[in-house]
Structure 1
Amino acid sequence: MDEVLRQAMEPVLRDLRGAGVAPPRVEDDDWTDDADCASAMLWSPDGSGRGVYVSRPVPECERVAAVADQVQEWVIEELWGQAPTNWPPCPRHPDHHPLRAVPREGAAVWECPADETLISPIGAL
């Protein structure tokens, strides 16, 4: 996998493992066909896949937040019908919504989307 994408994905996969969610199989795939992007495919055990990408020119915190957002979409689809789909759940409103991945002050963080309270750096859940 492209090193820029691997570095952006590692903290997100760490949060998945910490939550007991089986991470996807990640396969290098230049599906964007864009030299400014690094891309890969996320594969589920059932054989379904979803693309993930990052833009090389943006700051690292933005790359991590972008990957977290894309992996979060994969997790929600993966858990549909099996478990709560609000990963990662907002500790302030656990029955209402998942956290939102955003870059903030040079760091990629999970925040409450309702009141923008910072909950955790991405990778430290």
Structure 2
Amino acid sequence: MHVQLAGALAPVLADVTATGAPVPRVVDDGWSADPGTATAMLSSGDGRHGAGVSVPLGRPRPEQVSHVAGMVQDWVVDELRGTTATNWPPCPHHPTTHPLEVVVRDGAARWSCPRDGTPVAVVGTLR
């Protein structure tokens, strides 16, 4: 897997693992022919569904982490659909209404409340 994609995925997957969400299997398959993008596939353990994940190469790391976090978040929500709450990661301020969103602020990718913009955690530090 391309080093920039692996680096952007690592903190996001740490959050997935730390919160007990389903962890995707990551397959380096290079599905994009764009030389400015590194790609892989996320899939469930049972092969139920998969989704592509990509990162624009050469962008600042916080932007790459934010970009990847959105795609992983979509995969986790799809994986949870029909089984449990799908607001991953849940907003601690509004846990039953919406998930956190990723924003780049103060030089880092951060999980933040989409309703009031309150930063909750740097991506990779959820517990």
TM-score exceeds 0.5: yes
Gaps of 5+ in 1: none
C-alpha displacement of 1:46: 3.2
In structure 1, the residue matched to 2:101 is 100
Q: SS of the residue aligned with 1:34? A: coil
Q: Which amino acid aligns with 1:119?
A: V
Gaps of 5+ in 2: none
1:38 is aligned to 2:35: no
In structure 2, the residue matched to 1:8 is 8
Give the aligned length: 125
- The alignment's TM-score, normalised by the length of structure 2, stands at 0.95
C-alpha displacement of 1:2: 1.0
In structure 1, the residue matched to 2:78 is 77
Q: SS of the residue aligned with 1:67? A: helix
Compare 5-14 and 23-32 and name the one that shifted more.
23-32
Question: Residues 2-33 of structure 1, C-alpha deviation per residue, up to 9 Å, x if partnerless?
Answer: 11000000000000110112311100021121
Q: SS of the residue aligned with 2:94? A: coil
Q: State the percentage of identical aligned residues.
A: 50
Q: Which amino acid aligns with 1:76?
A: V
Q: SS of the residue aligned with 1:13? A: helix
Q: Which amino acid aligns with 1:60?
A: R
C-alpha displacement of 1:105: 1.8
Q: SS of the residue aligned with 1:16? A: helix
In structure 2, the residue matched to 1:24 is 24
Greater than 2 Å deviation, 4+ residue runs: none
